[in-house]
Amino acid sequence: MTDQTPKPNGQRIPNGMLEDNYPRNMWWVAAHRDEVTTKPLARWLLEVPVVLYRLADGTPAALYDRCPHRWAPLSEGHVERDRLICPYHGMEFDTGGQCVKAPTQTMMPKTAQIPSFTVREAGAFIWIWMGDQEAIDCDPPEVGYQIDPNWSVVNGYYEVAANWVLIRENVLDLTHIAFLHKNTFKQDDWITAPDTYMEGETVCYEQEFDLAPLSPLFCAGMGLPEDKPIKRVQKGRMPSLAISFSDWNVYDPAPEAGRRSDFIMRGCHIVTPSTRGHTHYFWAAAFDVPEISEDVAVKTKASVTAAFDEDKNLLEKLQASVAADPRGLDFLEVTLGADGAGIKVRQILNKKLAAEGRSLR
């Protein structure tokens, strides 16, 4: 098991932000479903070069993105008859990673086998399992609401120059909103720690707020004025280290005639490790309101992006500073009351790594 004995200075429960701290035996998001087509897509996942593509019937596939002959990236090739064809010498690979044709010779090179990965399309995403294939014991997390016509979804993507754990902890401790996002979210009442608890393997938090104006980021999506006091209950869930949700449950105590009084804005935060110190971050803001206007969608995306740019900027500077500091992770780290969910993230992470026979220092 991972040593969690407090150090004189440093992390009581390590998060491994300068290391390979990626559990393999779990589902990670490889791409948004719209990104993966019959044209090969190159993407680094868990420090591994991967090529993603679709077969003629739409089934997604994933292989190690490196030809075993002279190491050309297969993502520069093309798909033909459900085979991925290397751009260099035309070697053809099936979805299991086996070379099934070498056009320049009649003898098949039996050793020309590259790793393949199990992928599944679920909801709006292509999920990948990069560990022990025999260890697959669950389906990818449920995000079907993002393709439900009764919801309106605004989404985006960042490549962040920071370890994935920093983003995961950031989106589970929203007390930073009143400070880092004081000019964007403008939700200055979020300064106390929520109740944090576990439901099985899912990390949860919940917090109720008094009447106050809603953040302008989400007013337009719900059709609410920015200065109207509303009640809200914040509920968060992290069913997997790869994904978490933050629900803004909004109640308007005095709706206009014919208007509804209850709304949900569901934030979705998906992280997938890329190369060392970099993370793919997929986000979505979904309203339980069908068919919001294009103007509202554009306004909402611009506002959310402006706020998330603040997170990205700070986390990248944090990562760079810690990586350059000779003290690294041995510097004093203080835990506050609002870190309850983040501590649970670290405990789950260390447990998963231990189960794979790995540990953080």
- Let me know the angle formed at the C-alpha of 197 by 193 and 202, rounded to the nearest 5 degrees: 125
Q: Are residues 332 and 189 in the same domain?
A: yes
Q: 214-237, pLDDT tens digit by residue? A: 999 999 999 999 999 999 999 999
Structure token digits, residue 128: 């990948």
Residue 307 lies in a domain: yes
Shared domain check, 203 and 171: yes
- The answer, yes or no, to whether residue 15 has pLDDT greater than 80, is yes
Q: pLDDT by residue (tens digit) across 288-321?
A: 999 999 999 999 999 999 999 999 999 999 999 9
The whole-number pLDDT of residue 49 equals 98
Contact 214, 232 (CB under 8 A): yes
Residue 1 located in a structural domain: no
At 159, is the pLDDT very low, low, confident or very high (cuts 50, 70, 90)?
very high
Report pTM: 0.94
DSSP per-residue string spanning 177-212: HHHHTTTTT--TT--SPPEEEEETTEEEEEEEEEEE
Q: Is the domain of 170 the same as that of 289?
A: yes
Same domain, 98 and 157: no
pLDDT tens for 239-288 read 999 999 999 999 999 998 888 999 999 999 999 999 999 999 999 999 99
Write out pLDDT tens, residues 120-134: 999 999 999 999 999
Average pLDDT, the chain: 94
Helix (H, G, I), strand (E, B), or coil: what is residue 162?
A: coil
Q: For residue 13, is pLDDT > 80?
A: yes
Residues 191 and 42 in one domain: no
Mean pLDDT, rounded, for 324-338:
93
Position 3 confidence tier, pLDDT thresholds 50, 70, 90? low
Q: What is the pLDDT of residue 342?
A: 95
Structurally, how many domains does the chain consist of?
2
Task: Note down the domain range covering 172.
Answer: 144-355
Residues 170 and 200 in one domain: yes
